[in-house]
Amino acid sequence: MKFAKTAAGLCLLLAVAGCAGPSVAVTPDENLTVEQRAETPNASAAAAFGTQRVWTSGLSVVVSAPRSLSPSETAIPPAKRTAVFTITVYNGSKTPYRPSQLAVKATADDQQAAELLDSVQGLNGLASAIAELPPGRDTQLQLAFAVPETPVKMTLTIQPGGHDQNAPTVFEGQA
């Protein structure tokens, strides 16, 4: 019975996601698992940080609210402040997924924000996500972007299959 409900929920999710465009937003409920949250979509244009986005393939992402960090002296590019995001990728599809396929573009106050690499602080970028993600599993990636010292409006645009491969989804908020 539980399988039937789960299957029905997934079918409904895929139907709603297909009608809603590239992805649907899900307001997070801390008491639900990533899999359960994917079953309760709520469409919107841009998602706030902390919201889950689900593509029709079943792949989903949640971008955390950023945390501010002072980069080390070895950070590339040099910056006074960085905004660090945790991106949780859940593979709800039937095939393995490589998180390194994600295309992530960031802006700070409508200006492109450079991805910051800082191996001293464990910020090795998207290229370090080399392991395949099996169906039904999730993983977390930490990405950092150079930002001004004062708070800024940030957007992260994510495409799961790389640039121009899937419809993009946008996350936004203060950093």
* pLDDT for the residue numbered 135: 96
Q: Is the pLDDT of residue 42 over 90?
A: no
* pLDDT for the residue numbered 165: 57
Global confidence as pTM: 0.73
Higher pLDDT, 24 or 55: 55
Q: Is the pLDDT of residue 35 over 80?
A: no
Average pLDDT, the chain: 78
pLDDT level of residue 36 (50, 70, 90 thresholds) = very low
For domain 2-174, the CATH architecture is Sandwich (2.60)
* pLDDT for the residue numbered 126: 86
User: What is the average pLDDT across 24-28?
Assistant: 40
Question: What percent of the chain is modeled with pLDDT above 90?
Answer: 58
Q: Is the pLDDT of residue 3 over 70?
A: no
CA 111 to centroid of chain Cα atoms: 20
Higher pLDDT, 166 or 174: 174
